[in-house]
Amino acid sequence: MKTKLLLFVCATFGALQINAQCSRSGSFMQSDPAYSISGTGGITFELNGDKNVVFDSNFMTVQGVDLRVYLSKTDDILAVGSDAIEVTTSPLLGDNGMTSPVLSPITGMKTFVINQTLYPNVNLSTYDYVVIQCIGINERWGYVNMAAANGPDCNLLSVAEKSLQESIAVYPNPANDYFEITNNSPNPISVNIYDILGNRVITSETSRLKKQSFSLANLNSGVYLVELKSDNQKLVKKLIKR
């Protein structure tokens, strides 16, 4: 039994490492002729629970006054019904590692992690646009109209409906002495935590609680796998203890 579990954990851990995924993407559209922008951008969901906005390596624009990145339901974050959320935590840096001078180049791949604590219910079908906004002059810099979802794991990530993947958040991660699980679905969940050798180190009863806390004080630093089950769905998330 333990051998089977070990094989399962190793296989799951390996799957997490290759970041199998589902994504939506499109080409950047230039909003103002004075500010060049090009390349590809979009939103990517991974089976390990990560949600990111990603600009591909062909991305290129110029520096503005405090450029920020948003997910939006419209191509203009100032429009009614945009419900825009910011995915940047600081201004975009130019190739010189600075936010100045204005019009200096910004090129290459960029990844922005969607904060699942602040925005736990973001799913692939909710937001159709990635928008770069110049906060300093309150002007849209450019935007992406994302195409349909594409990738090997779109069925597992339940693009069409809210899944366990969309309902559960594990944070903080990495964690120190404790972590929490929030459940934004109406269904109860059960939790098991395994070390990378397949040993179950923490278990909990099935619960409808919206938030549960778990102590890591007695565990060594390292990588653990959090297995969550609800009805016929199962989700495994990687957890790092510092």
What pLDDT digit, counting tens, does each position of 187-221 carry? 788 899 999 888 999 988 788 788 899 999 999 99
pLDDT-derived band at 160 (thresholds 50, 70, 90) equals: very low
Mean pLDDT score, 16-22 = 57
Mean pLDDT score, 57-65 = 95
Per-residue confidence (pLDDT) for residue 12, from 0 to 100: 43
Distance between CA 176 and CA 74 in Å, rounded?
A: 39
Quickly tell me which residue has 């609680």 as its tokens.
Answer: 209
Domain with CATH 2.60.40.3080 in the chain: 2-16+160-241
Looking at the domain 2-16+160-241, which fold is it? Answer: Immunoglobulin-like (2.60.40)
Per-residue confidence (pLDDT) for residue 154, from 0 to 100: 78
Per-residue confidence (pLDDT) for residue 132, from 0 to 100: 97
CATH 1.10.15 fits 21-145, yes or no: no
Per-residue confidence (pLDDT) for residue 161, from 0 to 100: 40
**Closest CA relative to residue 22, chosen from 119, 117, 112, 147:** 147
Residue 1 has pLDDT above 70, yes or no: no
Q: What is the pLDDT of residues 92-146, one digit of tens each?
A: 999 999 999 999 999 999 999 998 778 877 878 889 999 999 999 999 999 999 9
Measured in residues, the chain has a length of: 242
Per-residue confidence (pLDDT) for residue 124, from 0 to 100: 82
3-state secondary structure the chain: CHHHHHHHHHHHHHHHHCCCEEEEEEEEEECCCCCCEECEEEEEEECCCCEEEEECCCCEEECCCCEEEEEECCCCCCCCCCCCEECCCCCCCCCCCCCCCCCCEEECCEEEECCCCCCCCCCCCCCCEEEEEECCCCEEEEEEECCCCECCCCCCCCCCCCCHHHHEEEECCCECCEEEEEECCCCCEEEEEEECCCCEEEEEEEECCCEEEEECCCCCCEEEEEEEEECCEEEEEEEEEC
Mean pLDDT for the chain overall: 85
Percent of the chain with pLDDT over 70: 86
What are the tokens at 87?
């995915």
Q: Looking at per-residue confidence, does 31 or 92 come out higher?
A: 92
Per-residue confidence (pLDDT) for residue 133, from 0 to 100: 96
Residue 163 has pLDDT above 80, yes or no: no
Percent of the chain with pLDDT over 90: 53
What are the tokens at 203?
């278990």
**Closest CA relative to residue 127, chosen from 67, 182, 170, 81:** 81
- Cα angle 74, 169, 192; round to 5: 155
Distance between CA 132 and CA 87 in Å, rounded?
A: 10
**Closest CA relative to residue 83, chosen from 115, 131, 40:** 131
Per-residue confidence (pLDDT) for residue 54, from 0 to 100: 96
Distance between CA 33 and CA 62 in Å, rounded?
A: 12
